[in-house]
Amino acid sequence: MLNYTFHWHQAFRALPEMLWGALVTIEVAVLSMVLGTALAVLLAVGRMSSNRIGYGAATAWIETARNTPALFQIYMAHFGLGSLGIHLSPWWALLAGITFNNAGYLAESFRGALRAIPPTQTRAARSLGMGPLRAFWSVVMPQMFRISFPPMTNQMVWAILMTSLGLTVGLASDLAGVTQELNVRTFRTFEFFAMAAVLYYLIAKAVMLGARLAAWRLFRY
Amino acid sequence: MFQTALTLNDLWFLAKGAGITLAITAIAVLFGTVLGAVFGAIKAQASALATAPLTFVLDVLRSVPLLIQLILANAFQSIAGLGWSPFTVACVILSLYTSAYCAEIVRGGIEAVPGVTRRAARSLGMTWAQDMANVTLPMALRVALPGWIGLTLGVMKDTALVLWLGIIELLRSSQILVTRLQEPLFILALTGAIYFLISFPIARLGGRLEQRWREND
């Protein structure tokens, strides 16, 4: 059946190059998560507000992000925006697509978390003399992050996995892109992508472990 | 701006792509659910030590990007000389991928049934199979169904990745049209609208079911 000689040493020799790619993967994922979280807070507030425009815009964003493929969103950032004269490089298109996606999914988790926080919390904060923004920032938001910590961890893993889609818009610097470059040069598809799969698995596990440690440190009271 | 070279034939081409998307989704969800139900039941029943290998494999399926899995499987089938078509590779990988998520949903559903309820069923003289069929699964189904609907929609969206293997599904057919007509924004927006039309009503149904069933708890 296997009339094929595996050349693992080639893959091992390329390991440093792939590790640099992994760094770009982590960079894009972390940036998309930070930006996505900031946007998601605004979207969640918009979704719960009585302001028609705010509600409409937030709903449109969230439903589009959740009901179309992430790859479509990246294509839209890369090819679609070009028609409007906005030309994003693959790196920026990938970041924009994943951030858009993250923001939509996180906004829904945040909305659920905000619903779970008793309104008396806000009222108590306001009675202490805090302004509405201050009450949200110092009292409601920390509780919101605490409740939605597990879904945020999941979304971070998703962000890592989604960065591999940069390959399809021609990004050559992230882990998947570097692997594809090596593959095109050597045609050792299986060896290189198996190596990439192991690295992705390790990154995902590291994120889960890091989140567990952070939760243990942050939420021990 | 509102002129387009898109013809009815092109729309038909997109619809055929959507058909392939739905076909792969249906196959993957069908096999993935059957496999996932078996894996989930095993994980809910057997000890953690005995299921460690299964847990590891399912974990790998969820921690490695789907695109990488598809490329690896495609490379492996040509190494092994299986001679599978890209469509078969896509269906096999997506089924396994679906089963990994489905196993978690099924396990969660079974574990949500209180132990006393199951013991009560067994005390009434039911066998394990009777308890499963008549007591545990009907209750687990209510817990698991919203998650399963979400999973089905997730798989539908993830089928877009099979375009890398050269399968002309919805997103790939839109790319072909873009290359020919040079109207990326309009055609991509149309494609997004098709995905949205497939996904949104089912997502709403899932959300409503979840809400209605929670009220009865």
Write down all domains in chain B, each with its CATH number in brackets: 8-216 (1.10.3720.10)
CB pair distance less than 8 Å for A63 and B79: no
More confident residue, A83 or B216: A83
**Does the structure show a pLDDT above 80 at A1?**
no
Q: Tokens for A95?
A: 């970041």
Contact predicate B98/B79, CB 8 Å: no
Closest CA to B173 of B22, B4, B14, B21: B14
How close, in Å, is residue B193 to chain A by CA atoms?
Answer: 8
Residue of A nearest to B194 (CA): A68
Name chain B contacts of A72, Cβ cutoff 8 Å: 157, 160, 171, 188, 191-192, 195
**Does the structure show a pLDDT above 60 at A30?**
yes
Where are the alpha helices (H) located in chain A, listed in sequence order? 8-13, 15-48, 52-67, 70-75, 90-116, 119-127, 132-135, 141-147, 149-162, 175-186, 189-218
The ipTM (two decimal places) reads: 0.89
Name chain A contacts of B175, Cβ cutoff 8 Å: 75
Average pLDDT of each block of 10 consecutive residues along chain B (217 residues)?
76 92 95 94 87 92 94 90 90 96 93 91 92 90 89 93 92 91 88 93 86 69
CB pair distance less than 8 Å for B175 and A82: no
Average predicted confidence (pLDDT) for chain A: 91
CB pair distance less than 8 Å for A200 and B192: no
What integer pLDDT is reported at residue B5 of this predicted model?
Answer: 76
**Smallest Cβ distance to A197: which of B72, B186, B192?**
B72
What is the rounded CA–CA span in Å between residue B200 and residue B197? 6
**Chain segment A196-211, per-residue pLDDT in tens:** 999 999 999 999 999 9
What integer pLDDT is reported at residue B15 of this predicted model?
Answer: 92
What is the rounded CA–CA span in Å between residue B197 and residue B193? 6
What integer pLDDT is reported at residue A4 of this predicted model?
Answer: 78
What integer pLDDT is reported at residue A211 of this predicted model?
Answer: 93
CB pair distance less than 8 Å for B157 and A68: yes
What integer pLDDT is reported at residue B217 of this predicted model?
Answer: 56
Location of structure tokens 């995902």: A204
CB pair distance less than 8 Å for A79 and B195: no
CB pair distance less than 8 Å for B183 and A68: no
What is the rounded CA–CA span in Å between residue B100 and residue B55? 9
**Chain segment A142-181, per-residue pLDDT in tens:** 999 999 999 999 999 999 999 999 999 988 889 999 999 8
Chain B interface residues facing chain A, Cβ-Cβ under 8 Å?
60, 63-69, 71-72, 74-76, 79-81, 153, 157-161, 163-164, 171, 175, 178, 183-186, 188-189, 191-192, 195-196, 199-200, 203
What integer pLDDT is reported at residue A141 of this predicted model?
Answer: 93
Q: Tokens for B192?
A: 């997004």
Name the band, by pLDDT with cuts 50, 70 and 90, for residue A3.
Answer: confident
Query: What is the arithmetic mean of pLDDT over A2-29?
Result: 86
What integer pLDDT is reported at residue A31 of this predicted model?
Answer: 96
What is the rounded CA–CA span in Å between residue B193 and residue B190? 5
Domains of chain A: 17-216 (1.10.3720.10)
Whether pTM exceeds 0.80: yes
Closest CA to A157 of A214, A221, A102, A92: A102
Name the band, by pLDDT with cuts 50, 70 and 90, for residue A85.
Answer: confident
